[in-house]
Structure 1
């Protein structure tokens, strides 16, 4: 299961938002926060890879952010029964919302304590 989730971070950044007309699944606040932080970590990690100065001010997220992404995605899929395709749509929506509202930087202090060393 985890190996199938790893490409989602790249897909999240590389694919335009799809299936916008699909109804949003019901997620708990905790599940939505896990996915929102996953999207945040994916975008900041991408920024770090490309040398973005704002992204580089945070701890390296290539490994810890990816691990969080995988664990959070698997947990939400297990708890909700979402397919990978449905999860991808939700993650894309979260990422788009973060970009539209310019909230990536504001999310980092909220999300950083959730990294794997503190557990999910």
Structure 2
């Protein structure tokens, strides 16, 4: 799919590979943790600092997704927001973080 084809489409309708969906979910989890750490939430102190590493993980993942899927920044942001809202609404962060931390470590960041 070319970028101009994706323009104006609902980003959630664009098929992403499993690894891309995982990267977005982990990016959202890292954002939630970084936000909680910045706010001084005690539960988030159990995780390593996420502000810099989590942001860089998202930037790199988003660039790869945009290249492969032909999405623009707004579309990737829309997908990330959906993942963020799902994680913020549910009680899934603690279940998601261990594999996401492994993915973060494997990324070399």
Structure with greater proportional helix content: 2
TM-score, normalization by structure 2: 0.83
- 2:59 corresponding residue in structure 1: 70
2:104 corresponds to 1:106: no
Q: Deviations over 1:5-24 (max 9, x none)?
A: xxxxxxxxxxxxxxxxx361
Structure label with greater radius of gyration: 2
1:96 deviates by: 1.1
The correspondence for 1:44, drawn from 33, 41, 50, is: 33
2:79 corresponds to 1:83: no
1:118 deviates by: 2.1
Q: Which runs of 4+ in 1 moved over 3 A?
A: none
- 1:13 corresponding residue in structure 2: none
1:100 deviates by: 2.4
Structure 2 stretches lacking a partner, 5+ long = 1-9
- Give me the whole-angstrom Cα distance separating, in 2, the residues matched to 1:84 and 1:52: 30
- Give me the whole-angstrom Cα distance separating, in 2, the residues matched to 1:86 and 1:50: 28
- 1:33 corresponding residue in structure 2: 22
2:109 corresponds to 1:118: no
Structure 1 stretches lacking a partner, 5+ long = 1-21
- Give me the whole-angstrom Cα distance separating, in 1, the residues matched to 2:97 and 2:57: 13
TM-score, normalization by structure 1: 0.76
1:44 deviates by: 0.4
Q: Deviations over 1:33-67 (max 9, x none)?
A: 00000000011011101101111110111111111
